[in-house]
Amino acid sequence: MSGATEYGQELDVAIAAARAAGGEVARMRRDGLRYGHKEGRELVSEADIRAAEMLHEAISGAFPQDGWLSEEHVDTEVRLGRSRTWIVDPIDGTREFLMGVPEYAVSVGLAVDGEAVLGVVYNAATGELFSALCNEAEERPAGRAPARYRVLVGRGEQRWDDIPPLPAGAETAGVGSVAYRLALIAAGKGDVVLTGSGRSEWDVAAGVALCRAAGLRATGVLGDPLTFNQPEPWVRGLLVGPPVLHDQISAHLQKVIRQQQR
């Protein structure tokens, strides 16, 4: 891949679009809005739809030849024929957004040939903006694993103790949006993100780009590679952290699985 400056314009557009959409959803929540449920229990609000419209207009308007994958747009096979695809969640953490918990985010990622190369995550409730290009990022040196480390998991996972087994030294903390969790560890505010539950690509693409830019290792929960813009845009669990912790947790999980299969 060529240098990170190749995507400088894309990053500028994504940051501006995320800020604008985030500002609008924050305003809509202050003013009051309607919400409902999709199939199953998943929540959706007027703000999700409005943010999706704003992001699509700004980003696809600037890069009309790129593919588009978003939670609030009808998916088509068109994106599969594009080497570049934007992977967007207008509000990751809609439940937290509606509850007034400041742990939701606008998530904008760009995948090129299946690799997440750009990420923007904006938490409009706190004003935190995380952005990075990672197409030439290198992983951190292995080093030694710390005696204690902080693993960010979903609020529901923490509440219902739905967390995969962890090695000694792990302390878990529940945070709403998975995109926000990934942004936090990329910024050094936590060590590992772990979920055994499946996630849509739009939940994690931007956050994975941020983490890889920070030298973290990002894979499926058992170490399987992450490839984006798939026909079925689904990630079967997630494990992200410094290489030394990633290896330690991955080996532990695989050991647990082997023991369970006996």
One domain, residues 57 and 154: no
DSSP run (H or E) holding 12: helix 8-31
Least confident span in 8-17, 94-103, 227-236: 94-103
Least confident span in 36-40, 157-161, 164-168, 225-229: 36-40
User: Does residue 41 carry a pLDDT above 70?
Assistant: no
Does some domain include residue 129?
yes
**Three-state DSSP class for residue 200:** strand
One domain, residues 81 and 194: no
Work out the average pLDDT over 67-78: 92
103 closest CA partner among 174, 52, 49: 174
Residue 31 is predicted with a pLDDT of: 80
Confidence of residue 206 (pLDDT cuts 50, 70, 90): very high
One domain, residues 110 and 11: yes
Residue 249 is predicted with a pLDDT of: 95
Percent of the chain with pLDDT over 70: 92
Residues 177, 92 contacting (CB under 8 angstroms): yes
Q: Which amino acid is at 202?
A: W
Number of domains in the chain: 2
Calpha distance 243→223 (Å, rounded): 11
